[in-house]
Structure 1
Amino acid sequence: MDGISISNIMLWTGALITSAATVYFGAVLTGFYKEPLMARFRRYGEERRPAPAISFAVSLGIWAIMMTLIMRVLTQQILLLQNTLLPLIFSILSLMAFGAAIAMNHFESLRVMLPRWYFDLLLIASREERRLIAYAWLRLPRKMRWRLNGDQAAFRVWADMVRITVIYGARDPDDPWAQWV
């Protein structure tokens, strides 16, 4: 095997896995994937607040370390990349990501600030309203969930409509028995 070894395969596999984890946590952090945080609202008992920004920073740091190792291998094998500073750049990126994770872990305000939609729901909705929003999220069709994942303003309007329904109660205008209740 010319140039392919077990260590290179493991290195590329690790890079692929950390890339996928970084993209996943980035989607959760930006609000393009709301499922994991909505599932937390559905839990009963004490509410524990997640910190997707810390998870993203740690996965970004591990990804940057993997890219540093890959760039070291590539700079030794490819003549055009020998005089580049790519391994140094990825090393600095990993240090910055781990430093950001430590800072976010230390300061509560940084931890709960992202994703923005989650922080807004914590401020405006009660625990019961957040739980009912999470259960209403499950009732939405998949295409509608994807639409609300991508459009933060539409999600905010939808969440407000669910809250209004919770506060004032839902009523069927075609129910003939509703007038006697």
Structure 2
Amino acid sequence: MFGLFRLSTLGMLALLLVLLHPFNGFLLTGLLISGGMLMRLTMIMLGWLKGPVLVRFEKYGDEEDFFYPLPRLCFWLGLSTIFTSLWVANITQLYFPGEAIGVLVLAAGFVLNHFSDYARAHPNPLLIYPHWLLDLFFRTSRLERRRIAYMWLRLPWRTRLFYNGNDRAFLQWADSIIIATLY
């Protein structure tokens, strides 16, 4: 209940900021959204958030979904750079060519997204993030990864928080799921 109240309060403050200062409110809202998504993607790449990666293993079909976070990282980093540069320039009247840097990072993300099929065909173990995913790919089959993903959904949220922060315990839990499904 308190979290919902806090979220609605933040939403009302953001709406008030947009109404009082439309351009600053727009820039700050864009900065908060892109910064939040950048933080989320960073947590996924560091291995602190496993749910969004495990959801990809649930799908049935011919081809398994490939987790390649670099284009998304460039996209959110570019947007964060653009919004930050515009916001700081609007507040301080000091201009920095951050928009150009942001556009270059966005272009790099577009190029990386265009060549994602090459990254899928030639995986580099040093560039696969998070590292627990690399270990899981080498030790499990597609069916085992799907079972791990479905069992992840059945875990209580506190257990998920524990496994999000502890890769070794997560891999031991995944081994227990594999052993339980074999026998």
- TM-score, normalised via structure 1 length: 0.74
Helix, strand or coil at the partner of 1:44: coil
Q: Give, in angstroms, the shift of residue 75 of structure 1.
A: 2.7
Q: Provide the rounded CA distance (Å) in 2 between the counterparts of 1:110 and 1:68.
A: 34
Contact 2:68 2:128 in 1 (8 A): no
Q: Provide the rounded CA distance (Å) in 2 between the counterparts of 1:30 and 1:105.
A: 24
Q: Give, in angstroms, the shift of residue 10 of structure 1.
A: 0.9
2:79 alignment partner in structure 1: 62
Q: Provide the rounded CA distance (Å) in 1 between the counterparts of 2:54 and 2:160.
A: 11
Helix, strand or coil at the partner of 1:134: helix
99-108 vs 56-65, which deviates more?
A: 99-108
Q: Provide the rounded CA distance (Å) in 2 between the counterparts of 1:40 and 1:103.
A: 20
Percent sequence identity is 31
2:44 alignment partner in structure 1: 28
Helix, strand or coil at the partner of 1:48: coil
1:71 alignment partner in structure 2: 88
Report the CA distance shift for 1:95/1:114 in structure 2 as closer, same or farther (over 3 A): same
Give 1:41's aligned amino acid.
Answer: F
Q: Provide the rounded CA distance (Å) in 2 between the counterparts of 1:6 and 1:142.
A: 38
Unaligned runs of 5+ in 2: 1-19
The reply on whether 1:150 has 2:159 as its aligned counterpart is no
Contact 2:50 2:164 in 1 (8 A): yes
Contact 2:81 2:99 in 1 (8 A): yes
Give 1:53's aligned amino acid.
Answer: L
Q: Deviations over 1:127-178 (max 9, x none)?
A: 11101111221222211110000111111111122122223x1xxxxxxxxx
Q: Provide the rounded CA distance (Å) in 2 between the counterparts of 1:30 and 1:98.
A: 24
Contact 2:71 2:112 in 1 (8 A): no
Q: Give, in angstroms, the shift of residue 93 of structure 1.
A: 6.5
Report the CA distance shift for 1:154/1:94 in structure 2 as closer, same or farther (over 3 A): farther
Give 2:28's aligned amino acid.
Answer: W
Give 1:99's aligned amino acid.
Answer: A
103-112 vs 39-48, which deviates more?
A: 103-112
Unaligned runs of 5+ in 1: 77-81, 170-181
Contact 2:47 2:164 in 1 (8 A): yes
Report the CA distance shift for 1:16/1:102 in structure 2 as closer, same or farther (over 3 A): same
Q: Provide the rounded CA distance (Å) in 1 between the counterparts of 2:23 and 2:61.
A: 46
2:181 alignment partner in structure 1: 166
Give matches, 1:39-58, under 5 Å. 39-46=55-62, 47-58=64-75
Report the CA distance shift for 1:29/1:94 in structure 2 as closer, same or farther (over 3 A): farther
Contact 1:60 1:94 in 2 (8 A): no
Contact 1:11 1:70 in 2 (8 A): yes
